[in-house]
Every structure is written in C-alpha cells, then in structure tokens.
Amino acid sequence: MRKTLPLLLLILGVYYFWERSDPGATFHEGTGLGDPVSIDSPQDPPSDLQVESPGDRILANAFQNHTSNLQVEGAGSVIKVLRDDNEGSRHQRFILQLRTGQTLLVAHNIDLAPRIPSLREGDVVGFYGEYEWNAEGGVIHWTHHDPGGRHADGWLRHNGRMYR
C-alpha cells in the first residue's frame, strides 16, 4: 500500500498535466465563468469535418443527458439558414450539423455582435457559446461579448473572420 499510493499519485499527476497540455483539448462546463478552454484554435478552423472532435463528443453527451448551461467550442456545417428572429433582441439563426450528425440551432445576437454576411448552406462555422438542450439537438447562444461582463464572451468564426 505504501508503494502503491505514490505511484497512483504520480500517474494521476501525469494524466492531469497531459490533459491540460493537449492544445485540442476540452471544454468549460458551468455558468461560463472561469478559464475557458479551447477545443479548436480560434485561428485554425477544422479542415476535416469528417473527423470527430472532443466538442462533438461533449455535445453528444450533453444532448443524451439533457444537459444545459454548457460553455463549449466546436464547428459544424451549415445545413439551413433561417430567417432572423426579430422579436426582442435580434438573432441571426441557422442550423449546423456536427461531424456526429447531431444538429444545433445557432442563435447569434446581432444587436450585440455583427451578423455573418452571405452565410450559405455547406459553409463551415466555428463557435464558442453556451449549449442549451432541446429535443431537436440543442441551441448554441451567447456567441457574442457580454456587455455586463458576467458571462464568458462567445464568438462565431466563418471564412477566417471572427464575429463577437
């Protein structure tokens, strides 16, 4: 037992540092406060949407478990561009399909951030925002800065340009 505990602690320490050092690593769960962690570098959109990412698995798990209020980063292909929602705060809306086949409604507040011009089906859009569960796959919102500074700033990435 005396020899096993230090070995176990060493293994856990190596695992912890390995997970933290992976540049393509994880997500940040909860209220959006704290240190957000990147899945894909904001400068480098995923070039191959055939390969599943950590974000895809996180979102699949969140959908399966009806999890909401999940700060997450990922990317998908636009499968449908919807009309803007102009009731209350205006939102640009479109549906993304992840590599897993899961679909997400993106509701991007265009009163607080610029809209993505000329968005078309088939375009790849990266996102960092808050996931909310629904039966259709979920919604990503908070893809903009928070003027009140109480929520993690989100963004969308399209054709190499950031929309926050």
pLDDT range class, residue 38, cuts 50, 70, 90 = very low
| Residues 49, 75: Cα–Cα separation, whole Å | 8
Return the closest-CA partner of residue 155 out of 62, 32, 9, 49: 32
**pLDDT digits 0-9 by tens, 98-107:** 999 999 999 9
What pLDDT is recorded for position 2?
54
User: What percentage of the chain reaches a pLDDT higher than 90?
Assistant: 66
Helix (H) or strand (E) holding 18: helix 4-21
DSSP for 60-121 reads HHHHHTT--SEEEEEEEEEEEEPPPB-SSS-EEEEEEE-TTS-EEEEEEETTTS---TT--T
**Class of CATH domain 24-163:** mainly beta
> What residue has token string 């375009």?
123
**pLDDT digits 0-9 by tens, 104-155:** 999 999 999 999 999 999 999 999 999 999 999 999 999 999 999 999 999 9
Could you state, in order of their start, the residue ranges of all structural domains in the chain? 24-163
Return the closest-CA partner of residue 119 out of 87, 154, 95: 95
